[in-house]
Structure 1
Amino acid sequence: MTTRGETDPQRTLPGDGCAEMAQHEPRAEPPGDAPRRQVRLRHAIPETYGVAIAVVLVASLLGVTWVAGSMLRERVAQAEREFAAAMARSIAACLTAERDYDDDALQGAFGRLATDSRLRSIRWIGLDGKERFRWAKPAAQSADPEPSGGVLTETAELRAPDGRPDGVVAIELNRDTLRAQHTILLGSCAAAIIVSLLGYLLIYRRLRRHAQPLAAIQNNLESYVHGTERELVALSLSDSLGQIADCWNSFLDEMVQLRNQAGSHTAPSADGDAITRFEVKGLRSALDRLPVGVVRVDAECCVKYVNSVGARLLGHEADDLIGKYIGDLFDEDIARPLLLAHQNNTKSRAVDWRTSEEPEAATVRLQMLPGSGSGRDDYLLFMQDVTHDVQADRARDEFLYHITHELRTPLTNIQAYAETLTRPDFDDEQTRKESYNVIISETRRLSHLVEDVLSLSQLEVGSLRIQWGDVDLIRLLRSMVQDNLGAADNKQIELTLKLPPKAPQIRGDKHRLAVLLNNLIGNAIKYTPEGGRVDVALSTDDSHVFVTVHDTGIGISPEDQERIFEKFYRVSSEEVQSIVGTGLGLAIAREIVRLHGGDITLQSEPGAGSTFTVKLPFNAEKLP
């Protein structure tokens, strides 16, 4: 006997206007046993969406990597040229001062330069073009006789003590620094791309696994009402699909028992048999266990039966819905495709219906399907709560919108200033420096954005692993305050730190806690006007430590406080929008606090500043 989850070869059905559907050849069965076959599942979530999002994510990361790599190469090359010029001038000055020494003395003097791994040789070329002195690093001290990055040659004019030109000094330096920096950057970006794709794959697989049972039920019901499968046991699902599959299989078993009992006592008419199947108490109980709403309508499109889930989604008692016209239960736009399908004896398209105008209202997907009868007197309306799916789609769209907007602004600035630098008639040194500074600043902004997005994604999907260790919060707070002193001084903000004489160490991830504290202190300085004040304090009780960051900034309104920890959320006031930010800092801070078993709270009033309080247990590693 074929077990649940096994499938048989397909064959094509003739006639009756239905599309070709998969059907299975029965196997030889022992007498009295019904064949168990299963309709092949459709994909619950189109792979196209998943691939499209993955391509956008990888393309964005590759674009950031390319821009950062180009800027890094230019910066390192410029630094190497400046270093070589400075060294050449220094050596020329040394030769001017020690020109009276013989070659052996000069060889000994310059031998001390062998400790610099980049310097390869020094030559003194006279005005007649002849080489007057040459020093080269011994082969034993050269870690790379033939550097893969190439050699940089730089010259400096040499003058006699009386100021007359006396030839030039030429030095050679290794250029391996640029390649090493570039390799490190590419390795880091490759690791970031791999981590992002792995996190995305985990989310996609989880959503797909949860949606498979419902898709299987819908597919099997369609096969049954179209006549593809007439044996109820052939519509059973594999036990591997979980609890929903078990409930569905129990429902089918009860249907089979009821059909057998009815057949052994009497042979009623087709209409009487349909009414009996939907009125039997045991069948009602099985239908009520389904996670989807089921409504049966008659030839007048009035409700003849509704299960408990359908009644709950419609907002009425089941008995009150009997006899109601379908067109009276929904708005005209929602009811029209359902009524047309019933009138034309066809399957309707899926329609999403919001149960009310409230923001928290559920979204229900409706679809009208013909029943087992030949006319319009046996139709089924299926109702599936897809609120979570709609919210997931909306969150995905909002994420793509925000990340595209945040990437577009710095990339546009980089492109504009890069085009300015490449103009052939451009020779303004001051503007050139300003352009380089803007490009470097926007590149750092992109880097921080990518780092924040990756950190938040890892925190949300649970792929981030806490590196537990002993953390000295007093030392960590001093370091974070010191790092932000420059930003505070630029705005003439008084930044203070209040610490207890002694505080126990806590168990936590030092790097993640540093990100948390830096976000809170940096935000306080960013949103505090010039001349304001930011106070950071640490206190303890018997089992927890408390870090408080108070500022005299612009403050946050009560309605904004409810959403301030959401990712990409920023207050819509002009004061906030004029300050550069991504809306990710507080979302990351909250997730880090939760990973450490703590809590973060906010007290604020518009115009009176804000106070963020972080509460952390001493030993979060042992919390359940």
Structure 2
Amino acid sequence: MFKSIRFKFITIYFLLVFMAMVIVGAFLLQQFEQYHLGVVRGNLTQIAGSVMTTLEEIDWQNNKEEIQKNIGPYEKMGMEIYVIEKNNDFTIISSTNLSYWNQNAMYILDSNLIMSAFHGEIEEKDIVSGQENQISSKNMVFPLYDEHSRIAGAVYLRQNLEDIHKTLDQSKFILTRATLLALFTTILLGYLLAKSITGPINDVTIKAEKMAKGDFDQVVEVKSDDEIGQLANMFNYLTARLKSALQEMSNEKKKMDTIINNMADGLIAVTAEGKIIHANPVALEMLKLEGKTLANKSFDEVFYPLNQHLTLNHLTNQKKWYGSEMIDMEKGIKLRAKYAPIIREDGDLEGLVVLLQDVTEHEKLENMRKEFVANVSHELKTPLTTIKSYTETLLDGAMESKELTTQFLTVVESETDRMTRLVQDLLQLSNLDFKQGRWNKKEVCINDIVKDAVLKIEVSAKNKRQQLVCKTSEEDTITYADKDKIEQVILNVLSNAIKYTSKEGRIEIAVQTVNNIGKIIIKDNGIGIPSKDLPRIFERFYRVDKARSREMGGTGLGLSIAKQIVEAHDGKIEIFSEEKEPGTSVVITLPTLEKASVLN
């Protein structure tokens, strides 16, 4: 209560009015008292002058009875007059109070005043009697001269001041009542005035407190055009502007949250003390952590087991706030952690932002690129080396032997064909990668494609005394495809089956239609493929048995090309092989045309 501006306002207003009333009242009472005392003094002086003139005219020293006749009428005016003769006893020779006749004035009246008069001075004094009633009176004394202008006596006048003091007391009572009434009015008006000022301020304070708690739908009622009204208007304007600014900030925050939470990379923000303040879902998934677990751990506790260089302690010691580190996770997953500092305006470190990128595929592709370059180099180096060595041998004199020359030239031709096949396969893969290949797609029958492929490859199977069994579907399976390309895929798979199946082996090829999907299934009882090699079987230049594959003339690109062709037809090619059991199954699926007419 005492801290309220309303109480302070009323208190100050009360004190101001109180002090003003006290000062004004004291001044008025003083002036009032001085005025009435001055009136009494003037009356006493006038009466004294009249009495003294009369006494001088009647020879007062010898006509005491005449003195009493002249001062007697003044008794009715409530005034006491004493005529004192200058002798040894200071005798009162005449008085309006008959009981004091012929008595010593020193015992009745103020002796100091009497002595002053006998010294020729006119004096006055306000005296309060020592009695119980404490009567206050105005006392004045005047010297009285004889016919020789010598001080022969004194005229002592005394008038009761009780009426004046009663009047002053009444005036004080009236002023006190007026002061109390003014103070009460002051308190009432001060309260109303303070309320008119503090009311809107309290309203603004309450609305501001609600705004501080997040409720920005606050409007202050404007009741006037004065400063308080202007304050209310400015508060409402501030509220509208603040609400608009916060709405914009909220929208921006939602955008940022949406971007951060849906970005492909992980993001972690940490304070300078190591407290993790934000981690998007991708970061949690990458680090195999949960939000509750992360909230109870510091940054160093999370990253120290992953990479000791990626801790605040290490970065602080190294004073290195920009850079990146690699993190090796389980199952061969590799993460690149890029970090950058958050700097405050004063230049101090606020925190750290870490961006996590899954570079597993990138690293894998990089390794594949390196391996691809190495394989291409090796594939070209081997035939080139052979051609160069045989050519040098011929140039050194082997050409003189026709039989040896023919043999060497046959080898050169074979190696040249091998390089030609390799370049052609690389060109075809390049066209497929950049979608520059030309497709001659039309409605074709899968049965016909398979039959044509078997017809072209069966000579190779017979040369190895292998049994090639073809089972087509009872109804023609129609698809929209490039016949030559699909045939190339089937020939590639059949060629691999013949190569890696021993003599007198068995190769089966079947065509099936299931739910508008055409399936071409090629199964052999050859050497099979180890399970560890199956995930990489479609990689370029990847061979299960590299030495044997090269001896058989393969480039290691056939299955990669086959996969590209099948996927370009919205199909799929899969290879199945069980470890320690002979045989491999290849399943090629292609979409069929519904209600297609049977080709003639």
TM-score (norm 1): 0.48
TM-score (norm 2): 0.49
